[in-house]
Amino acid sequence: MNLEDVNAVKQLLSAPQKIVVVPHKNPDGDAIGSTLALWHYLKKKGHEATIIAPNDFPKFLKWMPKNEEILIFEKQSIQAKKYIEEASVIFTLDFNHLGRIGQMEPLLEASQAIFVMIDHHQAPSGYAQIMYSDVTMSSTCEMVYNFMESLNDVEKIDTDMANCLYTGIMTDTGSFKFSSTTSRTHKVVADLIDKGADNTAIHNRVFDTNSPSRLHLLGCALGNMKILEAYSTAYITLSQAELDKYNFKKGDTEGFVNYGLTLEGIQFAVIFIENAEEGIIKISFRSQGSFSVNEFARKYFDGGGHTNAAGGKSEQSLQETTAYFETVLENYKDQLTA
């Protein structure tokens, strides 16, 4: 964070504010971890703070300290709307354009609050007066740690906050293996453990809570995997009927896309998941090396993200979407086999 922004935030938080903290739609470990940690911090500093998530988050995050305080806009819109209208400051975490918050978008657009963005995705849009945007960061949680450090408040990080921040860094780095994981990331994580983050318990709570039906759904997904060796690409599909058959619950498909990348020689892995209720195919893209799935998702599938992890969507049918995908893949044959 640059000095000018640090001073602006110090000034802003020097008097009690009414603050709303917002993660992106379909919040993941980093989005929930960063918003909760910041919320704990803002409350400690004497502000009124409320987290409003556009929609619900997976069960494997529902152990996080004070997660029950999070308002879900889809379920509690009247209450949430009131908080947004009264907010003097709005923090947006782990996303960088308002299209990522679904039905909350018009409310934030209409707000007169001062916006503070903390985010590590590419191509931020300009809605925030104070922008802490850094695409080299492993996670928004690592940035929230830096944010508190800039405000000389690292000693305010308690066990609850440490558990929240550790979770987001762990999930966004694929358990510290992605190339965004730096020595600094490990230093932050080490300090979080010193501050009480229970690393083994967090790992168990996030990754070792499978239900039999989720593992059967994974079996179905892997059975559907199509390998396009000539393009170093593997993709998975899951139709709504398959999701229903295996009693799909939010979060069940988390991590499925990564299996493609575990195949030797595969550089590009994709999962297409039908969502009948929203009338879309939700897509996750992952890559290894220099192939930018962020650019690919942006160009063809109305999405974005990071170089090696991005998302997008399609309003075509599942079959039409994968056919289109295979067509546009042709443009990258040289790049993917290089």
Instruction: By CB under 5 A, name the binding residues for Mn ion.
Output: 30, 94, 140, 172
Contact 90, 115 (CB under 8 A): yes
Select the binding partner of residue 195 from ligand 5GP, Mn ion, none (C-beta < 5 to 8 A, by kind): none
Residue 54 binds to ligand 5GP (criterion: CB under 6 A):
no
Least separation in angstroms between residue 236's CB and ligand 5GP is: 12
Residue 79 parent element (H or E): helix 77-86
Q: For residues 5 and 302, which CB has a smaller minimum distance to ligand 5GP in the complex? A: 302
- Sheet with 226-228, strands from edge to edge, namely 226-228, 233-238, 268-275, 280-287, 309-314, 304-305
Residues 303-332 binding ligand 5GP (CB under 6 A) are 303-306, 309-313
Strands 309-314 and 304-305: antiparallel
Q: Report in angstroms how near the CB of residue 118 gets to ligand 5GP at its nearest.
A: 13
Query: Does 124 contact ligand 5GP by CB under 6 A?
Result: no
Kind of pairing between the strands at 71-72 and 48-53: parallel
DSSP state of 144: H
Question: What residues numbered 6-45 form the site for ligand 5GP, per CB under 6 A?
Answer: 24
Residue list 195-224, contact with ligand 5GP (CB under 6 A): none
CB of 120 to Mn ion, least distance (A): 6
3-state secondary structure of 206: helix
Backbone dihedral angles phi then psi of residue 71, each to the nearest 5 degrees: -85, 135
Q: With binding defined as CB under 6 A, does residue 146 bind ligand 5GP? A: no
For the chain, what percentages of helix, strand and coil (3-state, to nearest 5) are there?
A: 45, 20, 35
Q: Which residue is nearest to ligand 5GP (CB)?
A: 311
104-123 residues near ligand 5GP, rule: CB under 6 A: 121
Distance CA 149, CA 54 (A): 28
Q: Does 270 bind ligand 5GP (CB under 6 A)?
A: no
Q: How far is the CB of 94 from Mn ion (least distance, A)?
A: 4
